Amino acid sequence: MPYRLGADLEVRCVSEPNVLRVEGLRVHYQTPAGPVKAVDGVSFAVQPGERFGLVGESGSGKSTIALSLLRMIKPPGRVEDGSVTLDGVELLELTDEEMRRVRLARISLVAQGAMNSLNPVKRIREQIALGLREHGAAREGRAFDTFLTELLERVGLRRGVGDMFPHELSGGMKQRVCIAMAISLEPQVIVADEPTTALDVVVQWQVIDTLRRVQSELGAAVIQIGHDMGLMAHSVERIGVMYAGKLVESAAVRDLFRAPLHPYTQLLIASLPSLDGKERLQGIAGSPPSLLNPPAGCPFHPRCPFVMDVCRTTMPPPREHRPGHFAACHLYETS
């Protein structure tokens, strides 16, 4: 039985086909040199049960979006503008206590680097019990043992793992524990921020398979953050491509890989190794821009092989150029 919120939050839900909707999100980090525009006007929506991936280079704003969805941005970072609605509830307007109740119960995080997310001096069972207690869903004695066994088995771990400390587990096991915690209250949305960082390739695939299986069993939506286009292509249904704090393209995986529209996406895909390994790998010339002083117009223009005059002055708005396929690029503007 999924954990339920109090009636005060339920009553603020409105009918909405998307379980999560992000509109015009802007997140800045204040620095002595000025604001770093880590996320600059990002909008997207995710349907119940959907697997949506966000890809991009380091510093493109992916992880800042992940933290914003859970209201976990810490100073000097701040959400400057925008809206994040979960099942019709505006998360950015909740009180801290209301948001604490929503976190884990309705939207949960599988954070980067499992070791940093687990308490090194508490056994796994204590850490899972704490999460339940904090949300008024504590189980005692036998009921908790049964719950724990089922939860661990769901992510492919034996029951004995509950009695272990994090340092006794391998990297893959720790990441499975993090997934178990993230699903312990059966949330509607799971945000997985680079869930396979620092794992070897075989374990990466196992962890991704586990995440995929449990979200499908729960019917939860997943927002998976990463930089590995290949891994992403096999684990999500729709991909959004981030560049310099902006979402520059989004489409179903198949459409994005078959016919990418944005030049940055085209170059990202061209930089992937082919199976036969005969083609020379292509890099992307130049470096990502400073988010302190991003270039005027399209932020990709200093690196873009198709740059035009208008690109240097005007940011193209994201438009639906094919059904379900959005891109922000002047190449496809008709007038």
Applying CB under 6 A, the residues found at the interface with ligand SF4 are 262-263, 298, 300-301, 304, 306-308, 311, 316, 329-331
For residue 161, give every residue at least 6 positions away whose Cβ sits within 8 Å of its Cβ, in sequence order, or none. 124, 152, 169, 173, 177
Compute the least distance from the CB of residue 261 to ligand SF4, in Å: 9
Residue 207 C-beta-side C-alpha neighbours within 13 Å: 31
Judged by beta carbon, residue 131 or residue 289, the one nearer ligand SF4 is 289
For the bound state, the minimum distance from the C-beta of residue 58 to ligand SF4, rounded and expressed in Å, comes to 20
CB of 264 to ligand SF4, least distance (A): 6
Q: Which is nearer to ligand SF4, 154 or 330 (CB)?
A: 330
CB of 109 to ligand SF4, least distance (A): 32
Q: Which is nearest to 179 in space by CA: 144, 215, 227, 138?
A: 215
Given a contact cutoff of 8 angstroms between Cβ atoms, the answer to whether 302 and 259 are in contact is no
Question: Six-digit token pair at 251?
Answer: 């489409």
Considering beta carbons, is residue 5 or 331 the nearer one to ligand SF4?
331
Name the minimum Å distance from CB 194 to ligand SF4.
Answer: 25
Decide whether 155 or 304 has the Cβ nearer to ligand SF4. Answer: 304
Q: With respect to ligand SF4, which residue has the nearer C-beta, 73 or 244?
A: 244
C-alpha span between 284 and 299 (Å, rounded) = 14
Closer CB to ligand SF4, 164 or 307, in the complex: 307
Instruction: Compute how many other C-beta atoms are within 10 angstroms of the C-beta atom of residue 289.
Output: 18
Shortest distance, position 286 Cβ to ligand SF4, whole Å: 12
Q: In angstroms, what is the minimal distance from the CB of 40 to ligand SF4?
A: 14
Q: What's the token pair of residue 130?
A: 């704490």
In whole angstroms, how close is the CB of 100 to ligand SF4 at the nearest point?
41
Residues in the chain, overall count: 335
Helices (H), the chain: 7-10, 62-69, 96-102, 114-117, 124-134, 141-154, 171-183, 201-218, 229-235, 253-258, 263-270
CA separation (Å) from 258 to 61, 69, 202, 254, 269?
Answer: 25, 30, 26, 6, 10
Alpha-carbon gap, residue 23 to 41, rounded angstroms: 7
Question: By C-beta, is 167 or 332 nearer to ligand SF4?
Answer: 332
Q: What DSSP string describes 109-168?
A: EE-SSHHHHS-TTS-HHHHHHHHHHHTT----HHHHHHHHHHHHHHTT--GGGGGS-GGG
- Is residue 187 within 8 A of residue 148, CB to CB? The reply is no
Cβ proximity to ligand SF4: between 195 and 263 the closer is 263
In the block, tokens 């002595």 appear at 32
